[in-house]
Amino acid sequence: MKKIILFLPLLLFAAHVFVLHRIDDIRYPSTSTSSKKLESYIIYLKKHGYKFFTVSEITQHLNDSKAVAFSIDDSYKSFYQNGLKVFKKYKIPFTLFVYVKATNQKWGDFVGWKELKKIQKYGELGIHSYAHPHLCKLNNKEIINDTKKAINIFKKHMGYVPKLYAYPYGEYDDRVKKIINSFFKIIVNQNPGALDSTTKINDIDRFALVGKSNFLQKLKTKKLHAKIDVIQKNGEITEIKGEVFDKIPFINLYITGFGVKKINLKNNHFSFKPHFKLKKYRNRVIISYNNKIISKMIIKGGQNARSF
C-alpha cells in the first residue's frame, strides 16, 4: 500500500525529452525530420505554454508537465545546416550528442570541431561514444577504452569534459549501464517514455521525432510506474513478470517481433511466459495502459536490469 501512495501524486505530471537525428535529409527518411515539421513542433509547444530546457536542465524539472527538452544524436551536418537555425530563431536550448570519431576524422556527413564550437553557443554538448559501437558486444575493457578515448579527444578540442552520454543505437544492458555510469551521471537512452520524479537521471527515456511521428500522442504520454523482470535464456524470453504501482486493471505488453498481449493484473502483479525466441539483436518490451507507458531495451543474450 505504501508503494501505491508514493506514486499516486505523480500521475498528473510528465516531462518529455525528444530525440532528433538528421534534418531535411531526404536520403534517410526513417531517421530524418523536416525543418518545417520541427518548427511546427516548437510553435505548438510555445503556444501552449511549454518550457524548454537542455537535457541536463530538465533533470531538475522532472515533475513539470510543461517541461520539454530536444536532443540530437550523431552531430550530423544536416542539423548544423538545417536544424540549428530553427532553434536559434525561437531561442530554444538543446543538447547535441557528438559522434567523436566521425567529427575527429572529418567524415563528410558530420560536423567538425569548428562547427561544434559554434553550436555550443546555443545548446549543450554530450558524448555519443567514440566509435559508435554496439556496446553490448564489447568486453568491459573495450567499453572503457572507447569511452575514455571519446572524453580525451573531446576535451582536447573543446576544453572540457561533457557531463552527458547517449548510448550508440540506444543499446545497453545492465553491464554496459554500470560502466558508462562510472563516467557519466546523466545518460539518455532511446526507449520511448515520459519522465517524472521517479526517473533515474542515468536512464532517461526519449521519444524519437523521426520519420512519421505522432508528436501530440507522444506529448500527452505519461509514465507508467511498474517493476519489470525480464527472464531470458539462450536468446529466448521465458518470462516477463512484475508489479504495477498505478491503479489499473490490466496492461498491454509488447515484445518486438511478438506483438501485443493483454494481461490482467492480480493484486497489482503480472506474469507472462511467452517462451519467445528473440528474432533481433535489439528488442523492446513495452508495457502500456491508455496513455501511460514504460519501456525497456532487451539485448538478445544481454544482462537486463529491472525497470521501474
Q: Which CATH superfamily is domain 12-221 in?
A: Glycoside hydrolase/deacetylase (3.20.20.370)
What percentage of residues in the chain have a pLDDT greater than 90?
92
pLDDT, tens digit, 9 for 90 and up, residues 86-106: 999 999 999 999 999 999 999
Phi, psi of 256 (to 5 degrees): -55, 125
Adjacent-strand bridge partners of 76: 110
Number of residues assigned to the chain: 308
Give the closest residue to 32 by CA, choosing from 17, 41, 45, 22: 22
| Residue 211 binned pLDDT confidence (cut-offs 50, 70, 90) | confident
In this prediction, residues 229-250 reach a mean pLDDT of 96
Q: Looking at residue 11, what is its pLDDT?
A: 47
Residues 6+ apart with CB under 8 A from 154: 98, 100, 125, 127, 161, 162
**What per-residue confidence (pLDDT) applies to 57?**
98
Q: Where are the chain's structural domains?
A: 12-221, 224-299
pLDDT at residue 212 in the model: 81
Give the right CATH number for 224-299 from 2.40.50, 3.30.70, 2.30.30, 2.60.40.
2.60.40
C-alpha cell of residue 115: 562547427
Q: Locate 75 and state its grid cell.
A: 552531430
Which residues are CB-contacts of 39 (< 8 A; sequence separation ≥ 6)? 86, 89, 90
Positions of E strands within 21-138: 22-23, 32-33, 51-53, 67-73, 95-98, 124-127
Q: Does the pTM of the predicted model rise above 0.85?
A: yes
Whether the CA torsion 138, 141, 143, 145 is positive or negative: it is negative
pLDDT at 79 exceeding the cut of 80? yes
